[in-house]
Amino acid sequence: MKHILDLTRFPLDQPNTPAWDALVAKCRADLASEGMFNLEGLMRPDVAAEVAETLTPSFEKDSFEHARMHNIYFRKSIPELPEDHPALRQNETANRTLCADQLGQNALMKLYEWPPFAEFLAATMGRNQLHTMADPLARVNVMSYGQGQALNWHFDRSEFTTTLLLQAPERGGAFEYCSDLRSADDPNYDGVAAMLRGEIPTKVIGISPGTLNVFAGKNTAHRITPVAGETARVIAVFSYYETAGVMFSEEERVGFYGRA
């Protein structure tokens, strides 16, 4: 993996050594204080650029073009909220998606299936073990955001979200987020509404290609701001679970990818 990853700065291949333990401790501290951690340049930038370039034809011919209006919950309604509650404000998301079965055995798939990567992620998240997903479409997705496209405000279904940026746009395409906006015990609907109105401060970060980003997506409201310019924002999303053999339902695959 040394030709794919910078294992000198990030010794993912040396579990339970002092250097590995120190990196895990730093990541866990960042998760606790910031709601996320970033490993800038984990994937070598030239490798990230090569992956993005090789996927360009597939995005143009084979990707699923995802465009929908949605609220922050990706749900048609919330039983305890009136339909006009400001937390249910609709926004548009638009991008193109490639699924794992369209990626080939490229550097992304090699990283995803490399056991030390899952072991490292599990340690940073305080989990005993993480498993790759069994679903042939959902296990790794790559999204492209072109001119005017964006991923609008939402919460993720999983507690942690793992992404790796392959290509940065000329302008826009920043990651904007608000950590700990809700909890398992408190949905904080009024706080969500206030954030959507711009009354609660958010943070905005730009990341460089090759950066691994892990954040607490379930309780962190987040979005990708609209992209501007001819260069698309291209990012990979890795899906791991504590339980082996996880699959999406046919309905979920059709909804996310337009096919089962």
- What pLDDT score was predicted for residue 66? 85
Interval 74-99: pLDDT, tens: 888 999 999 999 999 998 999 999 99
Dist. CA 105–CA 65, nearest whole Å: 23
pLDDT value of position 13: 98
Contacts of 259 (CB under 8 A, 6+ apart): 64, 137, 253
Q: What digits encode the pLDDT tens for the residues 164-222?
A: 999 999 999 999 999 989 999 999 999 999 999 999 999 999 899 999 999 988 999 99
Domain definitions of the chain by residue range: 18-257
pLDDT one-digit tens code per residue, 105-151: 999 999 999 999 999 999 999 999 999 999 999 999 999 999 999 99
How high is the pLDDT of residue 161?
93
As a three-state string, the secondary structure of the chain is CCCCECCCCCCCCCCCCHHHHHHHHHHHHHHHHHCEEEECCCECHHHHHHHHHHHHHHHHHCCEEEEEEECCCCCCCCCCCCCCCHHHCCEEEEEEEECHHHCCCCHHHHHHCCHHHHHHHHHHHCCCCCEECCCCCCCEEEEEECCCCCEEEECCCCCCEEEEEEECCCEECCEEEECCCCCCCCCCHHHHHHHHCCCCCCEEECCCCCCEEEECCCCCEEEECCEECCCCEEEEEECEECCCCCCCCHHHHHHHHCCC
Q: What would the two tokens of residue 194 be?
A: 């206030």
The CATH class of 18-257 is mainly beta
Taking only the tens place, the pLDDT of each residue in 43-68 is: 999 999 999 999 999 999 999 998 88
The whole-number pLDDT of residue 256 equals 85
Q: How far apart are CA 196 and CA 39, in angstroms?
A: 29
- The answer on pLDDT for 255 being more than 90 is no
The average pLDDT across 11-30 equals 98
Q: What pTM was estimated for this model as a whole? A: 0.92
pLDDT at 87: 94
Output the pLDDT for position 48: 98
Give the pLDDT band of residue 160 (cuts 50, 70, 90). very high
- pLDDT class of 239 with cuts at 50, 70, 90: very high
